[in-house]
Amino acid sequence: MKFTKMQGIGNDYVYVNCFEEKVEDPSALAIQVSDRHFGIGSDGLILICPSEVADCEMAMYNADGSRGEMCGNGVRCVGKYMYDYGLTDKTEITVETLAGIKTLQLFVENGKVAKVRVDMGSPILTPAEIPVVAEGDKAVDEPILVDGKEYHMTCVSMGNPHAVVYVDDVDNLSIEEIGPKFESHERFPRRVNTEFVKVLDRHTVQMRVWERGSAETLACGTGACAVAVSCILNGLTEDEVTVKLLGGDLEIQWDQEKNKVYMTGPATVVFDGELK
């Protein structure tokens, strides 16, 4: 089976072109390829498949084999793969995901896609649809008790559930301890991705992310979008925000008039390979 390893600001996945390859058990394959000692090493597996409603379908699996609805860094890499590997010659394409159809604008330099702007759609703020157990029509600055300590979270779905928590020090956070306790907290029926955020100024924030099913990753595109929406809802930033992640920066804009979130960032091929 041929594969391509790609990364979007350090959020790395193994990509399989299912226009040509067939994967019988994607969950098992995701666990196998994600292992950084005995496999290829990645945050998960993404299958690029034919679609009846878009230019392609992205089927995304986390490192633990669970199916994910959406991955912002992953979908940018899908756009790059489609163009760079000759599956399309268009610079605007659509990608079917479990979180809906995403429209991608491809920025080409020297015949290759250098960065991608993704229309991530509208943020979901209704607690039952995220889902999170909370009263009221939004979970903004909502108190939550985790491991005996009270935190305040703002919950947003970008097709997958996120809890944004503001902290004074992101760098020295014990994310390996607190992350799993948020992920499996009883208030999140389908578990949750948790972003720990420090606001640097009105246009810049810093974040680390504990991803549901994958532990801490270097970047999370849907998480960066959720963080920008959260910051704007809490009055902490303007509508355009640079989100600084461990793997690099993403530019996020929430157009509140259209109620659309746009994410712009790079996509990079690491290497091509073959798995026996």
Instruction: List residues forming the annotated binding site for substrate.
Output: 11, 62, 72-73, 160, 193, 211-212, 221-222
Q: How far apart are the first and last CA of the chain?
A: 6
Residue in 56, 77, 155, 220 annotated catalytic: 220
Contact partners, residue 262, CB within 8 Å, separation at least 6: 117, 118, 119, 120, 252, 253, 254, 255
Q: Which residue numbers belong to the known binding site?
A: 11, 62, 72-73, 160, 193, 211-212, 221-222
Catalytic residue, from 56, 71, 155, 231: name it.
71
Contacts of 224 (CB under 8 A, 6+ apart): 72, 195, 207, 243, 245, 250, 252, 263
Q: Measured between alpha carbons, how far is 242 from 96 in angstroms, rounded to an integer?
A: 26
Q: Is the CB of residue 192 less than 8 Å from the CB of residue 185? A: yes
Can you spell out the DSSP letters for 175-218?
HHHHHHHHHT-TT-TT--EEEEEEEEETTEEEEEEEETTTEEES
Mark whether 71 is an active-site residue.
yes
222 and 70 Cβ atoms separated by less than 8 Å: yes
Establish whether 49 is a catalytic residue. no
**Cβ neighbours for 171, distance < 8 A, ≥ 6 positions apart:** none
∠ CA 265-267-272 to the nearest 5 degrees?
170
Tell me how far apart the alpha carbons of residues 115 and 84 are, in angstroms, rounded to a whole number.
12
List active site positions.
71, 220
